[in-house]
Chains A and B, each alone.
Chain A
């Protein structure tokens, strides 16, 4: 079993829909990251969080440390949001453990 599990693996949505991507992990962590990888391969860090909730524009990330679960929400989705979204956790030794990613496709 992978230490970081994401669901769903693939997600297709219509423009304007509210989207949720989930991440569950099985190790103790100091922080959790949400990353976005564009089709060309470039990766952008969206959020780093250790508790509660963070919001940036149409993106919201939440984490429940007790349940070892995090969600990434996208409100009013747009075709430019199409990308692979990756969850990664930091166990605290300086390394990161990555999920396999969720491929999101938003149709106009």
Chain B
């Protein structure tokens, strides 16, 4: 089945640690996106990539990093520089925005 997957579903990390969130798609989409959602807030764009080996910062890129070495994969690293990382992270692919199930990150 074609789709977009994110792992893990829930993630806990200690303050000061980097953590990488996985996003994989087999829909053959060129475009991939990372969003952050906080309670009561709209989705905000962290990074997006329109083609392999290229990506652009979104509205809230500080404290995050990405790579796009393969068309299928667009991992997001939440670094220790991100001051308030607890949030729901959503990955999407394609210009029509097919979303993955999301990862809930909690910093302890």
Closest to A45 in B: B97
Closest 5 CB pairs of A and B: A43-B99, A98-B42, A100-B42, A98-B43, A45-B97
What is the size category of the interface that chain B forms with chain A? Answer: 20 to 34
B residues neighboring A (CB under 8 Å): 31, 33, 37, 41-45, 48, 50, 56, 58-59, 88, 90, 92, 95-99, 101-102, 104
A45 pairs with B42, CB closer than 8 A: no
Interface on chain B toward A: helix, strand, loop, or mixed SS?
strand
Give the number of residue pairs across the A-B interface with Cβ within 8 Å: 52
| B102 neighbours in A (Cβ, 8 Å) | 41-43
A residues neighboring B (CB under 8 Å): 31, 33, 35, 41-45, 48, 86, 88, 90, 93-96, 98-101
B99 pairs with A44, CB closer than 8 A: yes
Interface on chain A toward B: helix, strand, loop, or mixed SS?
strand
How distant is A85 from chain B, measured CB to nearest CB, in Å? 12
| B59 neighbours in A (Cβ, 8 Å) | 95
Of B31, B58, B97, B101, most A-chain CB atoms within 10 Å: B97
Closest to B58 in A: A95
Of A42, A95, A101, most B-chain CB atoms within 10 Å: A95
B48 pairs with A43, CB closer than 8 A: no
Closest to A41 in B: B102
A95–B59 CA distance with the chains assembled, in angstroms: 9
A100–B44 CA distance with the chains assembled, in angstroms: 10
B97 pairs with A98, CB closer than 8 A: no
Closest to A90 in B: B95
| B31 neighbours in A (Cβ, 8 Å) | 94
B88 pairs with A41, CB closer than 8 A: yes
